[in-house]
Amino acid sequence: MQLHALPAFEDNYIWMLTQDGDAWAVDPGDAGPVLDFVGTHALQLRGILITYHHGDHTGGVAALQSACPELSVVGPANERLSFPY
């Protein structure tokens, strides 16, 4: 498994986990960098891992779910998230 840091906003990163053509995004505050990365590297986005409910961690989830309806979304049991997971 490989770990990739995608710059996001002015001072943040979206982490991507990749292996064998599959990818998972960690805390995608913005969908754009994730979609660009998977497209450039011919990866299939399989899921999203959420660690915290703030927008800079979750802002891109809805757009990623729209672009990839089969995504798994995993997050902490007691977080206040505005999307299904």
pTM: 0.88
Q: What is the dihedral of CA 8, 20, 40, 12, to 10 degrees?
A: 10
Q: How high is the pLDDT of residue 83? A: 65
What tens digit of pLDDT does each residue of 46-85 get?
A: 999 998 777 677 899 999 999 998 999 988 877 776 666 6
* Strand pairing class (12-19; 22-26): antiparallel
Which residues touch 82 (CB under 8 Å, ≥6 apart)? 58
SS (HEC) of 44-72: EEEEEECCCCCHHHHCCHHHHHHHCCCCE
